[in-house]
Amino acid sequence: MAFEFFSSLSGTVSSFNLPVFIALLVIYLGIIFGLAWYGYRKTKDASDYMLAGRKTHPLVMAISYGATFISTSAIIGFGGTAAAYGMSLLWLAFLNILVGVIIAFLVFGPKMRRMGKKLRASTFPEFIGRRFKSRGLQTGIGLFIAVLMPLYASSVLIGAARFIETTFGITYSTALIIFTIVVAIYVIVGGLMSVMYTDAFQGMIMFFGMAFLLIFTYVKLGGIVEAHTALTNLAPLVPDSLAAIGHQGWTYMPVLGSELWWTVVSSLVLGVGIGIIAQPQLAVRFMTVKDNKTLKRAVFAGGPFIFMMAGVAYIVGSLCNVWFFNETGQIALDAVGGNIDSIIPAYINGAMPEIFIMIFMLSLLSAAMSTAGAQFHTMGTSVGYDVIRNGIFKGKSSKTILFSRIGMVITIIAAVILAFILPGGIIARATAVFMGICTAALLPMYAGGLFWKKMTKQGAFASFGIGLFASVFWYLFVHAKEAVPFGVCEALFGVPTLLTGTWTLVDPILIATPLSIIAAIFVSLMTQPPEEKFVEDIFSENEDEIEVADAA
């Protein structure tokens, strides 16, 4: 009954004030394409297309970084997950700020910016390839991004399309195609310069939209204390299926060591919280600024922005259970028929004033467009620049922008196909899987290249290979949330998972990342150290470019 009620809310905007919303949308898209055109006009060469000229303003960089990370997967996917699991996800917001902003901007960022400039690197794979003098490593990471990032990109597309579908009552397919085409146009044409300018504008809309959402939610529920007290009092309504795996209520942590505890702590908090630092589309942002002072100033904008985006999504996601219960007598998950990804759209359409629905629609479009734009750019440059130009053509072709645009088209199509075939409720899970694999496969190699002079090419290859293999193996054969639906283990060995008990709850990040670190250290110590002069040059404080002869 409740599901039918909230389904009937589809088309809220189209049935009221459609001309007003169309006017807002036209203005919004006009500004987006105006900024994209400005970025296109300022793009004079491949460096501008790939790295926005390396002179980005700290505020633009910080908001672009935050808007790239926070997407519909956070607002809709993780907001819906918080509605199901509770405020334990606020630990993820804390880790996002600590690792994704403070450590990333003040520890990793300065090293990445200075070393990337010395090596004349234009992409994350090229940075790794030149750091370890290996064209093969660059091509391998480019393929890694091209194959796996469409999974993450598809989760962003799903989140955007679901909200458009719910709000306008149009089909999911139509919403998906329209959204993808709009983003693809300005990314393919304008490159990173256009992406970062549009990100900054979209980020401001997201910030004010989420601020209003938080304030209005507390007002709607009678105040801060009243809202949280009411949420605590809903604990007896936790579904038996969730209580059986450790759910104790929406204001409590899950039972220590329970299935839900492992899901929240290892898969969501650690997987996404740590995984942010190893995201290629975010790491490359550090190479877009002119000096390290810019990165330090960017922290003061990046921290509050990430909290307002992620923290508000998790708080409102949890609290919307109170509103759903007041309106329907059911918790959020039951009220929308069990689809986590539909909770936030249904709450917005049902609880918010109609003018805010229109404004928040633009906020979600901004969140999705900013992240999708960065993903499209990263996937495209990985295919076009790292794989085709530097891998297949050995760096001898000058058609960098053309190859990158071809790569974008290929990977965008792959992401759209995945968005059509992936099941409901997949947004948060797909995000966690991608970030978990990135952490295991890329972070030890990335950190070692930045901070350890004795890290070798062989150590990087070993770390990358072991981290990737261990992650995929654990997902397919041990971690029950993926192994059981995929069915590979069942088909090969006749059992759902190779291990049983708690092992099936442990996220691959906790297994694959330590193995990747061990491989990096052991193999590096057992192989010939890198050339001393080269290492001293790239680790020195000066910023003079150095000659790098890429190995085969």
Taking the C-alpha atoms of residue 512 and residue 548, their distance in angstroms, rounded to an integer, is: 31
Residue type, 277: I
Lowest mean pLDDT segment, chosen from 7-21, 111-125, 290-304? 7-21
Taking the C-alpha atoms of residue 319 and residue 351, their distance in angstroms, rounded to an integer, is: 12
pLDDT for position 148: 86
pLDDT for position 130: 92
**For the chain, what percentages of helix, strand and coil (3-state, to nearest 5) are there?**
80, 0, 20
pLDDT for position 2: 37
- Whether 512 has a pLDDT exceeding 90, the answer reads yes
pLDDT for position 15: 45
| Residue 454 and residue 529 in contact, taking contact as beta carbons nearer than 8 Å | yes
525 contact partners, CB below 8 Å, separation of at least 6: 454, 459
pLDDT for position 547: 59
Query: Whole-number mean pLDDT of the chain?
Result: 84
- Whether 395 has a pLDDT exceeding 70, the answer reads no
pLDDT digits (tens, 9 = 90+) for 100-136: 888 988 899 889 988 988 888 888 999 999 999 998 9
Taking the C-alpha atoms of residue 235 and residue 243, their distance in angstroms, rounded to an integer, is: 10
- Whether 398 has a pLDDT exceeding 60, the answer reads yes
Other beta carbons less than 10 A from residue 440's beta carbon: 32
Topology given in CATH for the domain delimited by 2-436: Sodium/glucose cotransporter (1.20.1730)
Q: With the CA atoms of 343, 348, 351 and 352 taken in that order, what torsion angle do they form, in degrees rounded to the nearest 10?
A: 170
What backbone torsions phi and psi does residue 171 show, to the nearest 5 degrees? -70, 155
